[in-house]
A = this chain, B = another copy of it.
Amino acid sequence: MQTTPGNPRKPPTLADVAKLAGVSLATASKSLNGRQQVKAETRERVLSAAEQLNFSPNVLARHLLSGRSGTIGLVTHDLEGRFSIPTLMGAEDAAGTGKTSVLLCDARGDALREQYHVQALLGRRVDGLIVVGARPDPRPSLGQLPVPVVYAYAPSQDPADMSVVTDNLLGGRLVAEHLLTCGRTRVAIVTGDAGYGAAHDRVDGASAVLAEAGVEVLGGQALYGSWTEEWGRTAAGLLISRFDDVDAIVCGSDQIARGVLDTLRESGRRVPEDVAVTGHDNWEILALNARPQLTSIDMNLEELGRRAAALLFDAIEGNPHSGTEVIPSRLVPRGSTGPKPA
């Protein structure tokens, strides 16, 4: 880890190693790369020379030759937000295992900035691109690029592109099934901005399962509002005044659920005995600190990121895919749901 004394700036090159070991460049290269065409003793000499110089091969030079950079670009639109981070971790995970690194850019929801970053990444000769959206609705395609692209979280509008998304329908189904199992029949749904396709999908998933069991959503439809605790508090107030016998509230996000829980507690309803509550996203900072802890849907975002990376690597290897792949969500049961007392 020490800088070579007397040579403070430039890292040692393979030529330095070769010279020190008293061999040619070619032999040094072969030795370090585990080629079979060198005598064990020679290899040993080269290795120790490399060790001594603390040599680390210049990956740029290597890739100049191979045509691949060993690098993928990750363009996110939601770095400050909640959803891109696990996705990014999954991708970084999948990439880091091998020998590729991740170049990160945050486009902050701006198409122009995205364009700029994509160009910069292409100039760096990334082998592929993962684009992580800020919200789950379909987004415009980047079009034909010289390298494969995978759209994560927010799918591309072009079905010829590769996309990986969460399963919002399933999320809805899972909570509904869980609540039915708990014996709930007076079920309301509170969710966020009606402009989000995902909000509708989750509602549809839940409604379908409930309908199959002969249960109709209280009020005949979900309450749309915003993704905030405030709306959760308001909506819960509306619900208990209109439907005194409500015994379950499905929330479109953990934030909404937190608000719902607060209003229920303050109105004297017990959770989960009187009313069961479910969230969505499994944002632990909210779910684990709730009273009681919140049953929620985990979208497996990290898995989504890993899968996106895996698809990308496969495409880079020459096996392109297309269409939208859906990552199943899973239910995380906690204290806010449970069997309805007799």
Seen from chain A, the residues whose Cβ lies within 8 Å of a Cβ on chain B are: 1-3, 9-11, 56-61, 63-64, 67, 69, 71, 74, 79-80, 85-86, 88-89, 92, 96, 99, 101-106, 117, 119-125, 142-146, 228-230, 255, 258-259, 262, 285-286, 289, 291
B residues in contact with A117, CB < 8 Å: 96
Total identical chains: 2
CB distance from A143 to the nearest CB of B (A): 5
Interchain CB contact under 8 A, A120 and B144: no
Q: Could you list 6 further interchain pairs (A-B, Cβ under 8 angstroms) beyond the known A58-B123, A59-B123, A64-B64? A: A61-B64, A71-B103, A80-B89, A92-B106, A101-B121, A285-B286
A289 touches B258 (CB 8 A): yes
Min Cβ gap A319→B in Å is 14
B80 touching A123, Cβ below 8 Å: no
Q: In the bound complex, what is the Cα–Cα distance between A286 and B259 (angstroms)?
A: 12
Looking at the assembled complex, report how far the CB atom of A8 sits from the nearest CB atom of chain B, in whole angstroms: 8
Q: What separation, in Å, do the CA atoms of A88 and B2 have in the docked complex?
A: 27
Which residues on the B side are within 8 Å of A71 (C-beta)?
A: 103, 124
Contact of A230 among B69, B230, B289 (CB under 8 A): B289
Pair A103/B105 contact, Cβ less than 8 Å: no
- Cβ-defined contact, A119 with B56, below 8 A: yes
How far, in Å, is A206 (CB) from chain B's closest CB? 24
Contact A228 B124 (CB under 8 A): no
In the complex, are the beta carbons of A79 and B88 less than 8 A apart? yes
Q: Are A104's CB and B104's CB within 8 A?
A: yes
In whole angstroms, what is the CA distance A255 to B287 when docked? 12
Chain B nearest CB from A95 CB (Å) reads 10
Task: Determine the distance from Cα of A309 to Cα of B230 in the docked complex, in whole angstroms.
Answer: 38
A105 / chain B contacts, CB cutoff of 8 Å? 92, 96, 101-102
Using known A-B contacts A106-B92, A230-B289, determine if residue A124 contacts B59 with beta carbons closer than 8 Å.
Answer: yes
Query: Which of A103, A119, A146 has the most chain B CB atoms closer than 10 A to its own CB?
Result: A146
| Docked-complex contact A58 and B144, CB < 8 angstroms | no
Are A80 and B85 within 8 A (Cβ)? yes
Which residues in B have their C-beta under 8 angstroms from that of A69?
A: 60
Within the complex, what minimum Cβ distance (angstroms) separates A340 from chain B? 26
Question: B124, A60: Cβ atoms under 8 Å?
Answer: yes
